[in-house]
Chain A
Amino acid sequence: MKTEVAVIGGGPAGLAAAVAARDAGVEDILIIERDNELGGILNQCVHNGFGLHTFKEELTGPEYAGRYIDMVNERKIPYLLKTMVVDISRDKVITVMNREKGLFTIEADAIILAMGCRERSRGALNIPGYRPAGIYSAGTAQRYVNMEGRMPGKEIVILGSGDIGLIMARRMTLEGAKVKVVAELMPYSGGLKRNIVQCLDDFGIPLKLSHTVVDIKGTDRVEGVTIAQVDEKLKPIPGTEEFYSCDTLLLSCGLIPENELSSQAGVALSSVTGGPVVDESLETDIDGIFACGNVLHVHDLVDFVSQEASIAGEKAAEYVKGALAPSGKKISLQGVGGVRYTVPAEIDPERMADKQVVRFRVGKVFKNVKVVTTAGDQVLSSSKKRVMAPGEMEQVVIRKDKLIAAGPVEKIVIAVEDNQTEAKAADKEA
C-alpha cells in the first residue's frame, strides 16, 4: 500500500493536519487511528471550553472533534480505524496491523506524526507506599466516568494540578464523589488559571501548593494517603504530614509525548519536551517526517494544536509536491532566562513564514517581565507580560523582514527580562 501523506493518529492534531494537507492539494492522504473512532482523547473530554479560538464559540471535546471529523468526511479523506502502527522506518515505510488485513506496510512520501501523549504514572513519580487498586491517572478516571459511566471511586484525593486533574476534580464532584483535596508539588499550579477557578474554587475544593503524597495506605484498595508539605528543594518536610482517608488517588502530574514510534524511525528528540526537534516547517531531522500536537510538545488548548497541525499539513503538502525547498542553513532558537524550550527549535530563514509563531514555556512563575527576542544586536520583538506561568504556553511572533534585516546570525535568543531593566538603562543614559 502507498500514500502521499500518512498521518499517524486521528486525534485533533492528525485531523487538522489531514484537512490542511488536502486543502493544500494533496489527493492521497491516509489517517491511521488505533482507537474505534476518530477524535482521540477529545472524545472523553465532555466538558466545555474548547474552540474559543478556532470556532469563536465554546464547544465540548466531542463537539470540537466532531467539527474536524466532519471536515475530514466532507473531504472524503480516507482513514483506518482500530489500526495499530507497530513500526515506522527511516525511509517512511509504516508497518501496521488490524483485524481485517492483518499485518501490512504502507509506503508514504511524507509522514505526519500526531500520536499525542500519555500521563505520567505513579511509578515515574516514585510515590512510596502500597500498590492497591484505586490509583488512577486522571485521564483513566475520565474515561471510566465519561465513556463507561462508571465511578472509579467515591472519596478522592488528587495529586497534581494539571488541567486534567482540575477538570476531574469538578467532574467527580458533579458525579457524586467527594474530592477532599488537590495537592501540588510545585509552588504554582500546572493548570490553566481558569480551570482552578471553575473546577476547584467554585466547588470549594482546597488546592494545597508545595504539597505531595508521601505514603499510600491500603493493601487491596486505597484506604488513604498521607500528604506533606515540601521545601524549596521539593523534599517533604517532616512533621507536616497529614492523613486523608480516601478510596481513590488520582494523578495529574504531567503529560509525556508518546514518541516510541518516532524513536524507532530515528527522529531526534528534545530532552526538554520529549518531542521531536522540529524546524519552522515542523519538519523533524528526517526529511518528510513532520510532527504536530501533543506528540511534539504538550499543549494547554486544543485550538493551538489545530493551528500547529494545520501548518504541519500544509508543509507536508508542499513537501510531497516538491514545493518545500530543501532546508538550508538554519538559525537555532535559544531560550534563556527561564524559557525552557521553543517550538520550533530552529528556523530556516528561506523557508519561514512572513510571521513565524514560536511557542514556548517558562520554568517558573514570572511577574511584570518582558519577553525579548533578539538576533545578533537586533531586537526582533519585545512584549510586556504581567504574569507568565509554566502552566500556560506562551508565544512570540518573529517577522521575516526583521530577521533578514538583522543580517546573518547563528542564533535567535528568546529571553525573559525584568521589565524595569530598560527603564533603568534609559535613566542611566539620561
Chain B
Amino acid sequence: MYDIIVIGAGVTGSAVARELSRYKYNVLVLEKCSDVGEGTSKANSGIVHAGFDNEPGSVMAKMNVEGNAMMEQLSKDLDFEFKRNGSLVLCFDKNDEHKLNDLLERGKKNGVPGLEILTGSQVRVLEPKVSDKVTAALYAPTGGIVCPFGLTEALAENAADNGVQFKLNTAVKNIVRKEDCYEVTAENCGKQVNLTAKIVINCAGVYADSFHNMVSSNKMTIIPRKGEYCLMDKKVGNTVSHTIFQLPTEYGKGVLVTPTVHGNLLTGPTATDIEDKEGVNTTADGMNELLTKAKLSVPDLPVRQVITSFSGLRAHRPEHDFVIGQPEDAPGFIDVAGMESPGLSSAPAVGKYVAELTGEIMPAEEKEDFIATRKGVPSMANATNEERQKLIESDPSFANVICRCETVTEGEILNSIHRTLGARTLDAVKRRTRAGMGRCQSGFCNPRVVEILARELGVDEGEITKKGHGSEFISGYDKEDL
C-alpha cells in the first residue's frame, strides 16, 4: 500500500509530487503518457502570469500570485529556464481604457506588485513594433516566461531524486473507495495493475472529472478548451521583448504575442470548446484566426517565419476556478482540478498547498536528507566558449553536434537519456535538449536521434517512438514487402 498515489505527471502532479517528497511519505505517481508533462503542460503559452486578471478571492488569484513569486528561486534551485520579462495588456480604443483601470484595481486586490498604466507612446518606446492603434496599456513588471517542459521535468526529476516513484505508460482505469484506503486499477502496456493508497491526489488535467466522478456523487465537469499556437523562428524572436496581451476587442478574446525563454516568438492561443479530450489537432481556421488577431498587436508579425504550430487543451471548468481539496463524500481523495490558465504559473504554490492539505489528513515528518536542488541538461547552445570547452573535455561527445538548428550535441542527448526519469522517446529528448525544436523541425536529426536512443536503450531502431507505443518511426526494412 502506498501512502499517496498522484494521478497525472503534468506540471501540477509533478509540483505536488515534489512538495510531498519533502516528507516521509511513500508516493507513487501514475502517468498514462510515455513521459512527464506530455499533455497540457507541454502545449501552452509558457507564461508566468502576473495574476491581475483573476477574480479577487478566487483560488486562482491566490495561487497565481504566490506561484509567480516562487518561480524565480525555484528556477535557480531546479535549473530550468525562467525570465521575468514583464507583460503588457494592450488597449486599442480610448473608450476601453476604463477596462485597463478595472484590471489594475483587480490586480491590486490580488496583491500583484508594480502595476502601472502606460500611454500609447510609452508602450511604443518599450515595444516599437506594437500597433499605432494602441492607446494605452497595463504594464505588469512581474509577468514572466518559463520553459513549460523544463519546469515540469525539473519538478518531476527532483521528486524522483527524493524517492517518489513514477510509473509512466500507466493509465488509471478505476478508483474504488474502501474503508481506509482507495483501490486504484490501472493499465500498463495492456496489463492490469492493482494498487492501493491511503490518499489519492487527482492531478489528471482534462481527465480530472472522470476520476473525481468515480469517487464522488457531487459530479464535476471538465471541458477541453482547445488553444492553437504558432511558433516562429529564433531569428524573429526579438520582435517583442514583453509578453503582449490584448484587451478583448470586437473580434473577441485576444491572443498573446511573446518571446519564449528559448528565444522564439510565440503567438496564441485560440479558445474553442471541444468534446475530444485528445483533440490536439490544429485547424486552418484556428491558425488564420490567431494570426489575424496577433497582427492587431504587432501589425508586422513575421508570419512567414512560422516553424511549427500546435494546440493544447485547457482543463476548463464552467465555474472557472481551480478546485483543490477533498470532496465532502470522498475523504482522502484530493482534487487538484480545473487547472487551466494560470495553472502553469500557479503550480509551485499549488504543490505547496496540496502538501499542507495532505499533512492535515496524514501528518508526516520532514526528511532530513531532502535534496533541494537539481541540475538540468547542459546546453551547448547557451554555454560560453569556456563552458563549452569544459564540457567537451569532460566528454568529447559534447563536440558532436546532432541537431544543427539548435546546436544540440550527442553529449546533451546522452545526458537526457541517462538521467532521472530519462528520455525514452524522440519527443522526450526534444523537450529535454531542444534537438528537433528548431527551424528544420528534426528533418536532419530525426534519424540520428533515433539511432542514439536505440543504441543507448539497447533496442532496435524500429522500437523507437515519437511519443510512446504506436508512434514508431520505422515500419520495417527495405524490400520487406516485395
Contacts and interface: CB of A to CB of B under 8 A. Distances in A.
B276 to A, nearest CB: 10
Given A151-B478, A154-B481, A221-B471, A128 B281 contact: yes
A84 B403 CA distance: 11
Q: Nearest 6 A-B pairs (CB), nearest first?
A: A123-B308, A176-B481, A220-B470, A121-B441, A133-B466, A99-B396
Contacts, number: 151
A150 B477 contact: yes
Interface stretch (B171-179, B319-327, B359-367, B385-393): B385-393
B443 A152 contact: no
Interface string A117-145: 01101111010111111101101100111
B278 interface: yes
B466 A123 contact: no
A97 B392 contact: yes
B205 to A, nearest CB: 16
Interface of A: 34, 82, 84, 86, 95, 97-100, 102-103, 118-119, 121-124, 126, 128-134, 136-137, 139-140, 143-145, 147-154, 175-177, 214-216, 219-221, 236, 247-248, 258, 260, 263
11 contacts: A97-B388, A118-B439, A118-B444, A126-B309, A134-B473, A140-B443, A140-B447, A148-B447, A151-B477, A154-B481, A219-B278
B307 A121 contact: yes
B447 A139 contact: no
A153 B404 CA distance: 25
B26 interface: no
B24 interface: no
Contacts of B469: 220
A123 B231 contact: yes
Given A123-B306, A150-B478, A140 B446 contact: yes
Contact of B399 (A97, A119, A143): A97
B63 to A, nearest CB: 30
Nearest to A153: B475
B385 A103 contact: yes
A82 B400 contact: yes
Contacts of A34: 401, 404
Nearest to B392: A102
B248 to A, nearest CB: 25
Given A97-B399, A123-B441, A126-B306, A152 B475 contact: yes
A100 B400 CA distance: 10
B306 A124 contact: yes
B352 interface: no
Contacts of A122: 308, 441
B435 to A, nearest CB: 14
B309 A102 contact: no
A132 to B, nearest CB: 6
Interface stretch (B71-79, B106-114, B185-193, B282-290): B282-290
Given A34-B404, A220-B469, 12 more contacts: A98-B400, A118-B440, A124-B441, A131-B280, A133-B466, A133-B471, A134-B473, A140-B442, A150-B477, A150-B478, A152-B474, A176-B478
Given A118-B444, A176-B482, A219-B278, A151 B476 contact: yes
Interface residues of B, number: 58
A49 B166 CA distance: 54
A119 B443 contact: yes
B261 to A, nearest CB: 19
B397 interface: yes
B472 interface: yes
A148 B461 contact: yes
A153 B474 CA distance: 6
Given A95-B385, A220-B467, A221-B472, A119 B440 contact: yes
Contact of B287 (A95, A128, A140): A128
Given A121-B439, A123-B441, A128-B287, A103 B468 contact: no
A133 B447 contact: no
Contacts of A149: 477-478
Nearest to A150: B474
A131 B310 contact: yes
Contacts of A102: 388-389, 392-393, 396, 399
B468 A220 contact: yes
Contacts of A132: 466, 471
Contacts of B401: 34, 84, 97
B375 interface: no
Contact of A151 (B284, B307, B389, B475): B475
B480 interface: yes
A220 B471 contact: yes
A137 B443 contact: yes
Contacts of B308: 121-123
B235 interface: yes
Interface in B445-479: 446-447, 451, 461-462, 465-479
Nearest to B284: A128
Nearest to B283: A128
Contacts of B405: 260
Given A103-B388, A118-B443, A123 B473 contact: no
Contacts of B278: 219
Contact of B281 (A121, A129, A140): A129
A136 B441 contact: no
A98 B447 contact: no
Contacts of B399: 84, 97-99, 102-103
B407 interface: yes
A147 B461 CA distance: 14
Contacts of A152: 473-475
Nearest to B401: A84
From A99, A119, A152, A153, residue with most partner B Cβ within 10 Å: A99
A35 to B, nearest CB: 10
A123 B309 contact: yes
Contacts of A216: 281
Contacts of B388: 97, 102-103
A214 B284 CA distance: 8
A263 B233 CA distance: 14
Contact of A176 (B231, B235, B392, B480): B480
Nearest to B461: A150
A77 to B, nearest CB: 23
A402 to B, nearest CB: 39
From A84, A103, A122, residue with most partner B Cβ within 10 Å: A103
A331 B284 CA distance: 45
A245 to B, nearest CB: 14
